[in-house]
A and B are shown apart, each in its own frame.
Chain A
Amino acid sequence: MKRSAYRFRLYVAGDAQNSTRALANLGAFCRTHIPGRCEIEVVDVFREPKRALADRVFMTPTLIKLYPRPVRRIVGTLSQPENLMEAIGLEVVLA
């Protein structure tokens, strides 16, 4: 099976506004910049609090970029695609 070029884990707090917004922003980002090459795992801290503790996720939403290395964390609604691109190591494509 072909491994995705980008793997993300997004911690959300149920259907809290910030969380749903982050999920939407991440989806849009992937579709625009890295279509078909990303894998997103969504973890709800209310359902899996122990995982949040283990991953030291305290603020929601938190996006963890697992691959490619290094692991990076982005906290917030992911409303600014530029710093998301920078964080995941993509060249900022100037319009």
Chain B
Amino acid sequence: MMDANRINPRKSVKAPVKAPTGILGFDEITGGGLPRARTTLLVGGPGSGKTIFSLQFLVHGARHGKEPGIFVAFEEASERIESNAESFGWNMRQLRRDGKLYFLDAQPMADLVQSGTFDLSGMLAALGAQVAQMKAKRIVFDALDVVLALLPDEASKRREVYRLHEWLLAHGLTGLITAKSGGDEASSVGEQTFGFMQFMVDCAVMLCHGVVLGVSQRNLRVQKYRGTAFDENESPFLIGPTGLEVATAPTLGIEHAKVSNERISSGVARLDTMLGGGFYRGSAILVTGFPGTAKTTLSGAFAEAACLRGEQTLFVSFDSDVNEVVRDLGSVGIHLGPHVKSGVLRMASARTITGSAETYLVRIKSLAKTHKARCLVIDPVSTWSKSGSDQAAHSVAERLIGWTKANGITMLCTSLLDEIASQTEGGSSLQISTLADAWIHLSYVVQAGERNRGLSIIKSRGTAHSNQVRELILSDTGVTLTDTYTAGGEVLMGTLRWEKESAERVAHEVTEVATKLKRVRLDAEEAELEVRVKSLMVELEAKQVEKALLARTTEIQKRELSKGRTRMGELRGADVVPPK
């Protein structure tokens, strides 16, 4: 009798060569999905998401690709699988009723007695009939390790894996085989079998579910993909409300950001001026700073300004209780309470340890969606690196920025700098500074036994902005920015600035008085001189009069004298010509 396992492969596979899985991010990494009409091995520890991955692959094919699929369950009853996946909204029951999905319960029965060797040809023959009937294009063998564990030796395990592989190829099915790794299960499967399977299949994907510092962390890695380029890095993924979602570095141009020229206030008038009119609507703003540099205060000011404009705002506070934030901000004149009450402001706090960065991304997105947020504050975003790896946190931050931009949401996130790690400004642990449109840095300036807050704009895309460091002053009426004094190349703040200011004031007054005094004195001197000039004039006049009088007197005397001599001569009868 002819062996049904040996049917010739169907005529050459038509393009496209990849079968999309519908898993966000995964199809990007692999450039289109799983290899069509080939076999993929999906390996992961218990609870790493293998079943969900497989189901999503089948559901996507059944719904969007007109590719009916079969799910062979070796470990769990199909009803359980189906009800577990209910929450993803895939409506598998309907797909099953429409003949687009078929579930096969193939768990070894509990009371099964083994006697001698056996093989999988019975199952494959049965499945062959089912494939032909529903024209299935995709098939999943979930938890193949469970069946392999029943086989007595390595050789027979290999033989069955090989049989399965051949069968998949012969039927032109896009196959997905899942198997457990890690823990005690791995030893039962046998490293050798795994190695063999990985060698045989065209594509191998590893799922890893670990706990990093008490936080659940999921990673996916494509280990092998024959004949195609793929992203070889480990990518974080999460199980969100619609299934698996793999975090990928956003490729520019995929999510088109809505570019706006509208400016919105930062909540601090002077800062708006420094920014040349405020933040751009829809931009991502990063505020970095050491603990206590008023990052939350700036966030609060931004949120309050948004609420006063009547814009729906979401304020996510990590590590701090929402009520504490409202109270603390109240002490610096930022009153968020009324906005919370009116519903404009939604505040949410999250404890860092309760989830991975991915989980937060999903939560924040859905919160922002339901609240229809136009402005979003995340304070601080740096806690994400605590909840898992920096890389994961970075990728999440990237995706969040991509998402807010695509939705025209203005986001302000703060990032805590580790005081010891980064004395230099700018070393944001998440390196999201490169993604942010505006970056405001808050620092301490320690001078004369004081710690004062300094604010500077490190960058602001598309705006002219001040390059000066300003002093940030918190008071019960709000946040203000003051000019700092630069003296001898040093920036003066706080008391030193005040001292400098008052010293200058005094100096100014002194000069003013001195000037006045001098003017008065000069006036006096001038007046005195004028007086002197007048009296001299008078004196001069007197002298002239005197001189004229003298001249006249002399003339008269002369005349009288000559008149007298003539008269005497006449009287004496003197000669007319005096003798020589």
Contact = CB atoms under 8 A, between A and B. Distances in A.
B117 A13 contact: no
A73 B111 contact: yes
B115 interface: yes
B126 A76 contact: no
Interface in A28-57: 44-46, 49-50, 52-53, 56-57
Residue picked from B106, B118, B130, most chain A C-beta under 10 Å: B118
Contacts of A14: 1, 3-4, 121
A25 to B, nearest CB: 8
Residue picked from A46, A83, A87, most chain B C-beta under 10 Å: A46
B1 A78 contact: no
A28 B4 CA distance: 28
Contacts of B420: none
A7 interface: no
Contact of B113 (A13, A74, A79): A74
Given A53-B130, A56-B105, A13 B122 contact: yes
B114 interface: yes
A13 B121 contact: yes
Interface string B90-121: 00000000000000111011011111111111
Given A46-B1, A50-B129, A72-B111, A79 B122 contact: no
B123 to A, nearest CB: 3
B125 interface: yes
Given A49-B125, A53-B104, A76 B115 contact: yes
Given A53-B130, A56-B106, A58-B106, A83 B115 contact: yes
A37 to B, nearest CB: 20
A22 B3 CA distance: 18
A21 B118 CA distance: 10
B130 A74 contact: no
A81 to B, nearest CB: 9
Given A58-B120, A73-B109, A46 B115 contact: no
A87 B112 CA distance: 9
Given A18-B118, A46-B1, A83 B126 contact: no
A57 B428 CA distance: 60
A8 interface: no
Given A13-B119, A59-B119, A76-B118, A87 B126 contact: no
A77 B121 contact: no
Interface in B110-152: 111-123, 125-130, 147, 150
Given A56-B105, A73-B111, A13 B116 contact: no
Contacts of B108: 59
Given A49-B126, A56-B106, A18 B119 contact: yes
B126 A50 contact: yes
Interface in B256-274: none
Contacts of B150: 59, 75
A14 B6 CA distance: 13
A59 B106 CA distance: 9
Interface string B1-16: 1011000000000000
A30 B456 CA distance: 93
A50 B131 CA distance: 12
Contact of B126 (A15, A57, A72, A75): A57
A25 B115 CA distance: 11
B130 A76 contact: no
B115 A84 contact: yes
Given A59-B120, A60-B121, A62-B122, A73 B129 contact: no
Contacts of A22: 116
Given A14-B1, A15-B1, A53-B104, A45 B115 contact: no
Given A45-B122, A49-B126, 5 more contacts: A14-B121, A25-B116, A52-B126, A58-B147, A76-B116
Interface of B: 1, 3-4, 104-106, 108-109, 111-123, 125-130, 147, 150
- Shortest Cβ-Cβ A-B pairs, 10 listed: A77-B116, A60-B122, A58-B123, A49-B129, A76-B116, A79-B116, A13-B121, A52-B126, A45-B125, A49-B126
Interface of A: 11, 13-16, 18, 21-22, 25, 44-46, 49-50, 52-53, 56-62, 72-80, 83-84, 86-87
